[in-house]
């Protein structure tokens, strides 16, 4: 990454305002949404525009499967991750191979059109009462989540894409939606670390990056995890031994707004241990952050962010479609379970 800021763009082609933001030396990544997509051909053109505007900038998307799949028409329909947890109960081996295929298809289809990175897989545990997680989780079992996430991440790596575990230390217990408000998880620290944090500890360096949760855990720290050095430095870095890049979740979300203005929020996240800062769906706040943040590049940032550089096996859909590994992987991605169909955002 050329800089620590992850920003968005307004539509299916770049505007002059988009270009100005991308050219900022602080911007290292552009994140895309459904509003930026019309067709595979249009997406490839938009990615070419972005890469030409600033060579070296990375392009990312939230593209997990289930309801969090930003690009749908012209892409393989990927099921919610919960489907692999259900499959694992019947046949663990079949579930692992299908999860690997999910990761390979996800990454190879994106890379073939110019998208460099996806914020996946989700490592949250499904405790059964989170409005924002639900079927996005593989399972309530830390062992199942770790095994299936490792298989999915391995598939992504095989296609040439880095991975991102989220939302550290866990968003599966708290009921509220952090897009709108600050959720709270009132469990004791030992319970969270012994369960929700376990996939991060077990996966270790298999994770290239991690995204924090805008969730408060008052039994550990009054500050939400994104702004808590106790969570990022003491638990993630020290206890889990994580050496990759740490992304904040979107600093414009409701769960982050209690820390002051956007520059203050960004500074607090960096001080706590975040390496990269997502700010999207708020052009005014993006411009304020790009104008006001003071940041210095370090060797540590370059080492961590360098793990996100893509190495795609195929750079166009034609050659990808002829790849026997891709053909096999598409066949092994299961049809969506009717009980898990939820395409609402």
Judge whether 167 counts as a catalytic residue: no
Instruction: Give the span between the Cα atoms of 25 and 99, in whole angstroms.
Output: 37
**Of 122, 124, 185, 249, which one is the catalytic site residue?**
249
* Beta carbons within 10 angstroms of residue 241's beta carbon: 11
Q: Smallest Cα–Cα separation from 170: which of 197, 145, 189, 151? A: 197
- For residue 247, the 8-state DSSP code is E
Place of tokens 């095994």: 147
Residues 97, 42 contacting (CB under 8 angstroms): no
- 279 SS3 class: coil
How does DSSP assign 263-324, residue by residue?
A: HHHHHHHHHHT-SBEE--S-HHHHHHHHHH------HHHHHHHHTT----S-SSHHHHHT-H
Instruction: Give the span between the Cα atoms of 281 and 275, in whole angstroms.
Output: 20
Instruction: Give the span between the Cα atoms of 137 and 79, in whole angstroms.
Output: 11
Instruction: Give the span between the Cα atoms of 262 and 164, in whole angstroms.
Output: 24
Judge whether 214 counts as a catalytic residue: no
Q: Smallest Cα–Cα separation from 172: which of 211, 216, 140, 214? A: 140
**Of 51, 179, 337, 342, which one is the catalytic site residue?**
179
CA distances from 110 to 72, 87, 321 (A): 11, 25, 13
How does DSSP assign 34-87, residue by residue?
A: GGG-S-HHHHHHHHHHHHHHSTT-EEEE-EEETTEES--TTS--PPPTHHHHHH
Residues identified as active-site: 179, 249
């Amino acid at each position: 990454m050329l800089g620590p800021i992850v920003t968005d763009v307004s539509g299916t082609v770049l505007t002059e305002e988009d270009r100005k933001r991308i050219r900022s030396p602080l911007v290292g990544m552009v994140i895309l949404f459904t509003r930026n997509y019309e067709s595979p051909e249009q997406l490839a053109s938009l990615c070419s525009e972005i890469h030409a505007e600033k060579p070296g900038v990375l392009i990312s998307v939230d593209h997990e499967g289930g309801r969090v799949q930003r690009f749908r028409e012209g892409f393989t329909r990927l099921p919610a991750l919960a489907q692999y947890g259900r499959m694992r109960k019947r046949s663990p081996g079949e579930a692992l191979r299908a999860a690997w295929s999910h990761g390979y298809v996800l990454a190879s289809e994106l890379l073939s059109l110019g998208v460099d990175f996806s914020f996946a897989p989700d490592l949250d545990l499904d405790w059964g009462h989170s409005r924002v997680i639900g079927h996005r989780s593989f399972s309530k079992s830390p062992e199942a989540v770790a095994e299936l996430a490792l298989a999915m991440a391995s598939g992504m790596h095989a296609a040439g894409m880095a991975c991102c575990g989220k939302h550290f230390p866990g968003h599966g217990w708290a009921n509220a939606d952090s897009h709108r408000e600050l959720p709270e998880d009132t469990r004791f620290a030992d319970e969270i670390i012994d369960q929700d944090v376990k996939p991060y500890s077990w996966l270790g360096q298999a994770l290239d990056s991690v995204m924090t949760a805008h969730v408060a855990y008052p039994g550990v720290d009054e500050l939400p995890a994104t702004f808590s050095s106790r969570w990022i430095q003491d638990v993630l870095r020290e206890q889990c031994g994580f050496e990759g890049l740490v992304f904040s979740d979107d600093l414009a979300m409701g769960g982050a707004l209690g820390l002051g203005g956007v520059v203050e929020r960004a500074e607090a996240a960096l001080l706590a241990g975040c390496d990269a800062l997502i700010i999207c769906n708020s052009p005014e706040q993006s411009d304020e952050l790009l104008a006001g943040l003071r940041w210095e590049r370090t060797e540590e940032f370059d080492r961590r962010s360098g793990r996100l550089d893509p190495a795609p096996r195929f750079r166009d859909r034609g050659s990808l479609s002829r790849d026997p590994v891709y053909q096999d992987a598409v066949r092994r991605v299961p049809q969506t379970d009717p009980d898990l169909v939820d395409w609402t955002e």
